[in-house]
Chains A and B, each alone.
Chain A
């Protein structure tokens, strides 16, 4: 299994540009989520999904859209990039077993908006 994969690893955008951060998992996990991490801070939830076709907003959803057409893929779209969206973005998927929810994080996408 490749686990959780994210592309691209690095991206530089200009203000106003749009782009899609890709996230895929091959573990057949129902739950997936997106987080952003700013320097010296914890991770903040952007959007999450409990299965194909179902998404919901997290703590910081403004400026981002998501869709979940398949179990495997959960792309995050930046509609019109702003410097405040400069951050590291992590995608995660999870499963439950024996009462424990185990989360797997992707390697992250480091985004700079100029």
Chain B
């Protein structure tokens, strides 16, 4: 079945630096979703992208869906300690079931 690969697995940044995580698929995706999971917590839905080349922003977070709908990225500008957690990409099937990437664990050093 369809899979998504996510890189990097880990990222350590100094507070104030930018952060980017990437999600790649070998096949065209109908959509891509992004989630944030704080340590010890549950995944929290951030956004869904469905259109080729789509870009959406949420404050310091910028989400992109590639032109070929095979890749996506999440970029955080000027990270803060509240950004700590694991960021997952996932795509949703016809029954809203999710296939997740392996996640990028972000550590923000004060």
Q: Which residues of chain A have C-beta atoms less than 8 A from B48's C-beta?
A: 100-102
Contact A107 B42 (CB under 8 A): yes
A42-B103, A43-B98 are contacts. A105–B44 as well, Cβ < 8 Å? yes
| Cβ-based interface call for B63 (8 A) | no
Contact A105 B43 (CB under 8 A): yes
Within 8 A of B (CB), among A94-114: 94, 96, 99-108
> Number of A residues contacting the other chain (C-beta, 8 Å)?
28
Give the shortest distance, in Å, between A107 (CB) and chain B (any CB). Answer: 5
A-side interface mostly = strand
Cα–Cα, bound, A107→B35 (Å): 14
Contact A42 B88 (CB under 8 A): yes
| Cβ-based interface call for A56 (8 A) | yes
Within 8 A of B (CB), among A59-95: 59, 90, 92, 94
| Cβ-based interface call for B52 (8 A) | no
| Cβ-based interface call for A33 (8 A) | yes
Kindly count the residue-residue contacts between A and B in the assembled complex, taking CB atoms under 8 Å apart. Answer: 67
Cα–Cα, bound, A42→B105 (Å): 11
| Cβ-based interface call for B97 (8 A) | yes
| Cβ-based interface call for B101 (8 A) | yes
Give the shortest distance, in Å, between A74 (CB) and chain B (any CB). Answer: 13
Which of A43, A94, A106 interacts with B96 by CB under 8 Å? A94
Cα–Cα, bound, A56→B33 (Å): 22
Q: Which residues of chain A have C-beta atoms less than 8 A from B68's C-beta?
A: none
New contact pairs (20) apart from A35-B98, A50-B95, A103-B92, CB-CB < 8 Å = A31-B97, A41-B102, A42-B6, A42-B101, A43-B43, A43-B90, A43-B98, A48-B97, A56-B95, A58-B97, A59-B99, A94-B92, A94-B96, A101-B92, A102-B48, A103-B35, A103-B43, A103-B45, A103-B96, A104-B45
**A residues neighboring B (CB under 8 Å):** 31, 33, 35, 41-45, 48-50, 56, 58-59, 90, 92, 94, 96, 99-108
